């Protein structure tokens, strides 16, 4: 069943560079409502579980190292067509291929350190949101 929610993380590079406020402003301006939000620091075990689908990829170790090197901002966002619209807002995985004005074009350094996460399906949005938040933390 289609839902109107997606899940995002502002990744460690975004927080390190002081982009948190600017990225949240873009998300707000694009019409997403914040359902849940927190700063958290993923453990190695958390990151390995969150990105388990990528465990056989050559960049997996690098990805886990990156995602655990500092705190992130995790959030659940609500909007009509949330998953697809948020993927448009963040742009392509590789910032060199991301459209002008997208969050990754503006704030990402490379395909590895690409500033933000966005769920790729309604099913994964629900799984990823539940990974980080309990029902009591969703509003
Ligand atoms: P997505 O975040 O745009 O959905 P995925 O293919 O799901 O992209 O990859 C998950 C994350 O893994 C990316 O956001 C990025 O941080 C990292 N990643 C993907 N491809 C590469 C790569 O070729 N080299 C290094 N890191 C990568
Ligand atoms: Mg993905």
What domains does the chain contain, in order, with CATH numbers?
Answer: 5-137 (3.30.70.141)
User: What is the pTM for the complete model shown?
Assistant: 0.97
Token pair of 95, please? 């910032």
Q: Name all residues whose Cβ lies below 6 A of ligand 1.
A: 54, 59, 62-63, 93, 111-112, 114, 117, 120
Q: Which ligand is nearest to the CA of 66?
A: 1
Phi, psi of 132 (to 5 degrees): -100, -25
Q: Strand pairing partners for 117?
A: 9
Q: Are 86 and 129 spatial neighbours (Cβ–Cβ below 8 Å)?
A: no
Q: Strand pairing partners for 116?
A: 10
Surface-to-core class of residue 75, CB atoms within 10 Å of its CB (0-12 exposed, 13-18 middle, 19+ buried): buried
**Which secondary-structure segment (H or E) carries 39?**
strand 33-40
- The pLDDT score that the predictor gives to residue 114 is 98
**Annotation says 132 is catalytic:** no
- The pLDDT score that the predictor gives to residue 1 is 46
- The pLDDT score that the predictor gives to residue 3 is 72
Nearest CA to ligand 1 atom 1: 93
- The pLDDT score that the predictor gives to residue 2 is 53
Q: Which ligand is nearest to the CA of 94?
A: 1
pLDDT tens-place values along the chain, 139 residues long: 457 999 999 999 999 999 999 999 999 999 999 999 999 999 999 999 999 999 999 999 999 999 999 999 999 999 999 999 999 999 999 999 999 999 999 999 999 999 999 999 999 999 999 999 999 999 9
């Amino acid at each position: 069943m289609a839902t109107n929610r997606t899940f995002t993380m502002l990744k460690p590079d975004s927080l390190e560079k002081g982009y948190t406020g600017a990225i949240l402003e873009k998300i707000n301006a694009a019409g997403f409502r914040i359902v849940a939000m927190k700063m958290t620091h993923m453990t190695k075990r958390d990151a390995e579980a969150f990105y388990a689908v990528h465990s056989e990829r050559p960049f997996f170790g690098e990805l886990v190292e990156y995602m655990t090197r500092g705190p992130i901002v995790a959030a659940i966002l609500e909007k009509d067509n949330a998953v697809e619209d948020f993927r448009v807002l963040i742009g392509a995985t590789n910032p060199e291929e991301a459209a002008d004005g997208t969050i990754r074009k503006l704030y990402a350094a490379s395909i590895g350190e690409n500033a933000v996460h966005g769920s790729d399906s309604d099913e994964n949005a629900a799984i990823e949101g539940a990974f980080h938040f309990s029902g009591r933390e969703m509003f």
